[in-house]
């Protein structure tokens, strides 16, 4: 005797799919954090005499631009002081300088922000100096947590060579943290989230 319940096979279940990157995080970047606050893209007044411009692309593992990400920058002033009351050396004194910028990517995946070039900073252990750098944080569709890296300046070769953070990285990773100078006061810093050219990110 057959164990079959009827003459027809049991219906197969439909395939199941996991959430897409847009579902896990959503398009809140442009809606809540960048679209209505274009002034956040500058850490200094745009026409400040010492302002520098930083720009670049945010790219995925295939090298394609990510058009709905944003980049946050946090840096010291030219004296190496942060615009924050907890800085033990005293807060930054440059008028119109906040030290913080949040720049969205455009339709080509490019972000642009203006700030002041920072000065050297004390090393974390208090022994020596860190090279001038800016802390860079990236958020994008599909990322449940931000990615954090650093931007260093190519003309600071001696300071970069002595920087304890850069010294802790292998040569190929170290190279991903050095911006490219593209003008007298302009730098390009592309951020690769994955792939062969992946930017070095830090666990905080």
Whole-structure pTM value: 0.82
Q: What's residue 89's pLDDT?
A: 78
Per-residue pLDDT of 103-150, as tens digits, reads 989 999 999 999 999 999 988 777 789 999 999 999 987 787 899 999
- When pLDDT is cut at 50, 70 and 90, the band that residue 12 belongs to is low
Higher pLDDT, 42 or 2: 42
Residues 22-41 have a mean pLDDT of 55
pLDDT at 37 over 60: no
Q: What's the CATH code of the domain at 103?
A: 2.60.130.10
**Residue of 154, 142, 145, 146 lying closest to 178 (CA atoms):** 154
In a domain, 159, yes or no: yes
In a domain, 7, yes or no: no
Matching residue, tokens 């945010």 = 58
Tally of structural domains, the chain? 1
Q: What's residue 204's pLDDT?
A: 77
In a domain, 61, yes or no: yes
In a domain, 47, yes or no: yes
Residue 134 forms beta bridges with which residues? 75, 151
In a domain, 198, yes or no: no
- When pLDDT is cut at 50, 70 and 90, the band that residue 185 belongs to is very high
In a domain, 8, yes or no: no
In a domain, 203, yes or no: no
Residues 195-204 have a mean pLDDT of 92
Decide: 109 and 128 in contact? Cβ < 8 Å.
no
Q: Residue 85's domain spans which residues?
A: 21-192
Matching residue, tokens 């830090």 = 202
Q: What's residue 171's pLDDT?
A: 94
In a domain, 16, yes or no: no
| DSSP structure string for 147-183 | EEEEEE-TT-HHHHHH-HHHHTS-HHHHHTTBPEEEE
């Amino acid at each position: 005797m057959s164990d079959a319940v009827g003459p027809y096979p049991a219906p197969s279940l439909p395939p199941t799919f996991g959430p897409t990157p847009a579902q896990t995080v959503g398009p809140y970047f442009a809606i809540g954090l960048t679209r209505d606050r274009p002034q956040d893209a500058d850490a200094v007044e745009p026409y400040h005499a010492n302002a520098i411009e930083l720009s670049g692309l945010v790219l995925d593992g295939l090298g394609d631009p990510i058009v709905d990400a944003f980049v946050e920058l946090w840096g010291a002033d030219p004296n190496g002081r942060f615009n924050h009351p907890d800085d033990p050396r005293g807060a930054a004194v440059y008028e119109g300088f906040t030290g913080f910028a949040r720049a969205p990517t455009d339709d080509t995946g490019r972000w642009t922000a203006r700030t002041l070039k920072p000065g050297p900073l004390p090393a974390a252990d208090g022994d020596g100096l860190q090279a001038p750098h800016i802390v860079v944080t990236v958020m994008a569709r599909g990322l449940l947590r931000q990615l954090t890296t650093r931007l260093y300046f190519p003309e600071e070769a001696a300071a970069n060579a002595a920087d304890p953070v850069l010294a802790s990285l292998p040569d190929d990773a170290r190279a991903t943290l050095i911006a490219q100078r593209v003008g007298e006061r302009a730098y390009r810093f592309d951020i690769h989230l994955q792939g062969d050219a992946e930017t070095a990110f830090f666990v905080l």
